[in-house]
Amino acid sequence: MRAMSKLLGADLASHWKQGVAIVVLLMCGVATLIMSISTIRSLEASQDQYYSRYAFAHLWAPLVRAPEVLLESLAQIPGVVRVSGRVEKHALLDFPDMLEPASARLISIDHDPQSEINGLVLRSGRLPIVCDQTEVVVSELFAQEHRLELGDRIGANLEGKREELVVVGVGLSPDSIYLVQPGMLLPNNRLYGIFWARKEKLSAAFQMQGAFNQVALRVSPEANLDNLKKQIDTILEPYGCTGVYDRQEQESHARLRDEMRELRTMAFLSPAIFLSVSAFLVHMVFSRLIAMQTEQIATLRAFGYSALEIGMHYGRLVSVWITLGVVLGIGCGLLLAVWLSEIYRMFFRFPEILMVWFGWEWILAVSLGVAVAVLGAISGILRAMRLPPAVAMRSAGSQSAPTKSVTQLRLLGYLRPIGRMVMVRMLGNPWLTFFSILGMGLGMSLLILSSFMEKTIEYVLDHQFSRSQRQDLQLAF
C-alpha cells in the first residue's frame, strides 16, 4: 500500500490542474445550494416569527368611510378572531433640498400599537402621544435615506392644510416588509415612506372622527377565506368597500413570496448546472487518465495488485477532490448565505433575520456533491478494475478503432481528409461525442445564467420606461 500511496501523490501532483477545476465546480455547486436553501430557511423563519409576534393580518378591506360601531358586526362573523379599524391616508411631504415630490402613507395607531393587528415595531425613539403637535413614527428606510433624527420636523400637506410632523421614533410593521409607492415598479425610499401617528390626530386632520377607512382582520386557522370575504364585502359594500383581499394579494407579502419562489428555483437550477459540469469533467478526466495509465495498471496487476486495490487507488484520488470541493463549498455557502441575507435586509425590512445554519440542505448538498463525482468517475474506475494484465498491455488506440459501418458511410466521401478524420472519431465514439456536446452546452448555460438577471432587469426597465411610459413628467392628484 505504500507504493499505492506514492502513486496517489504522484497522480494528484501531475493532474492538479484538472483537480482544481473539479474542486472549483463542486465547490460552486455545493455553495450555491447551501447558500440558497439556507437563505430561504432564514427568510421563512424570520417571516413566521415576525408575522406571529406582531399579528400580521389575514384579510384587508379598504373603503371610503365607515363608523367604528361597524367593527363589532365584523367581529361577530364566525371565524374572525380580531378586527382593527384604522385611518389611512396619503400626504405630500415638503423637503427643501428635494425637487421631486415626496409622499407618505399616514397610518393611525392607538395607545398600544405593538399589540394591535400589524403591530408597530419601534426601532428607536418612542411612540407618539396626544399633544399640541403631530408626532409621528417614520419607517426605517425612509428615515435612513433622509438621515432623519428624533425631533426633526417635516412639512406635510394634510387635506390641503400644511402641518409640521415631528419625528419621535423610527419603526417597522409586518405589512410593510417590502414598500413600493402605489403605481411604481420598484421601491424608492427617498420619495415614499410610512408615517404612524395617533388616531386622534389623523381623525381630526382628515375629518374621520369616530370612523375608519381601512380594516384588517385576523381569522382562525380553520376559517374559509372565500366565505369570509363574501360576508365582509356584504357588510362593507354600502361604505365604499373596493374589495376584500388576503395575504396572497397584499403587496408586501406577495413581493416576499415571489422572491422566495424565485430563490427556490435558483436553489436547484444553478447547483444542478455546476454539478452536472463537474460530473462531466470528472468523467472526462478519469477516462483520459485510465487510457494514459493502461500500461501502468498492467504493471501493477503483474506485481500482484488486485482489481480491488486498483479501484481503491482511483477511488481515493476522486475522494480527495470530492472532500476538498464539499468542504470548501460548505464554507463558501455559509459565507454567501450571510452576505445574501445582508442584501435582502436592504430591501425586506425584518426586525431581525434569523440565520438557520443547519438542516437537511447540508445532507442534500454533500450527497449531491459526492453522487455526481462518483457518477462521473465510476465508469473509468470499473474499466481500470476489469483490465487484465494481458489486455491492459495493448495500446489504447487499438481498443477504440471505428467500426466498419462508420468507415463506410457515404457522407465521409464528401469530406476532406481532416473532416473525415473528425467525423470518424465522433461517430466511432458516440457516447464521448454526446457527453462532450452536453458538457459544452452546460458550460455555455453557466455564462448565460450569470448575466440573465442583469439583462432581464434591463429589458424590464427599457420596456416599462421607454415603451410603455414614454412621458418625461407624470402628474398625480
Rounded CA-CA distance 288/321 in Å is 17
> How many angstroms separate the CA atoms of 31 and 28, rounded?
5
- Which of 259, 351, 331, 380 is closest to 15 using CA atoms? 380
pLDDT of residue 398: 46
* Full-model pTM: 0.76
pLDDT the model gives residue 239 = 92
| Pair 220, 78: CB distance under 8 Å | no
Domain boundaries, the chain: 2-50+255-400, 56-253, 402-467
Q: Which residue has 484520488 as its cell numbers?
A: 317
Query: Could you write out the DSSP letters of every residue in 436-475?
Result: HHHHHHHHHHHHHHHHHHHHHHHHHHHIIIIII---S---
Residue 15: predicted pLDDT: 82
Strand partners, 216: 60, 84
In the DSSP assignment, the letter for residue 412 is: G
- Is 422 or 408 the better-scoring residue by pLDDT? 422
Tell me what pLDDT residue 50 has: 93
Q: Write out the H or E segment, with its range, that includes residue 215.
A: strand 211-219
d(C-alpha 309, C-alpha 296), whole Å: 14
How many Å apart are CA 90 and CA 399, to the nearest integer? 80
Whether 409 shows a pLDDT value over 70: the answer reads no
Q: Decide which of 17 and 5 is more confident.
A: 17
Q: What is the mean pLDDT of residues 92-113?
A: 87
Of 120, 257, 100, residue with least CA distance to 184: 100
Q: Is residue 223 predicted with pLDDT exceeding 50?
A: yes
pLDDT tens digits for range 10-56? 878 888 888 898 899 889 888 988 888 888 888 889 999 999 999 99
Question: Which one, of 278, 296, 276, lies nearest residue 11 by Cα?
Answer: 296
What is the average per-residue pLDDT within 159-176? 91
Q: Supply 375's cell numbers.
A: 457518477
Residue 213 has pLDDT above 70, yes or no: yes
Q: What are phi and psi of 106, to 5 degrees?
A: -90, 125
The pLDDT mean for the chain works out to 84
| Range with the poorest average pLDDT among 109-123, 243-257, 393-407, 419-433 | 393-407
The residue among 460 and 370 whose pLDDT is bigger is 370
Residue 404 has pLDDT above 60, yes or no: no
Pairing status of strand 102-109 against strand 192-198: parallel
Q: Determine the Cα–Cα distance for residues 91 and 288; give it in Å rounded to an integer.
A: 71
Burial class (CB in 10 A: 0-12, 13-18, 19+), 74: buried
Q: Which cell numbers hold the place of 444? A: 455555455
Half-sphere exposure of 288 (CA within 13 A, CB side): 9
Highest mean pLDDT among 233-242, 355-364, 374-383, 459-468: 233-242
Look at phi and psi of residue 304 and say left if phi exceeds 0, alpha if psi is from -120 to 50, else beta: left
| pLDDT for the residue 194 | 94
Lookup result for grid cell 368597500: 241
- Name, of 157-166, 439-448, 455-464, the range with top average pLDDT: 157-166
| Segment 367-402, tens digit of pLDDT | 888 888 888 888 888 888 887 776 555 554 444 555
pLDDT in tens, 274-301: 888 888 888 888 888 887 888 788 777 7
Alpha helices in 157-245 (DSSP H): 199-205, 225-236
| Inter-residue contact 402 to 71 (CB < 8 Å) | no
- pLDDT confidence tier of residue 437, bands split at 50, 70 and 90: confident
- Residue 356: φ, ψ to 5°: -100, 105
What confidence category does residue 147 fall into, taking pLDDT thresholds of 50, 70 and 90? Answer: very high
pLDDT for 1 beyond 60:
no
**What is the Cα–Cα distance from 468 to 461, expressed in whole angstroms?**
10
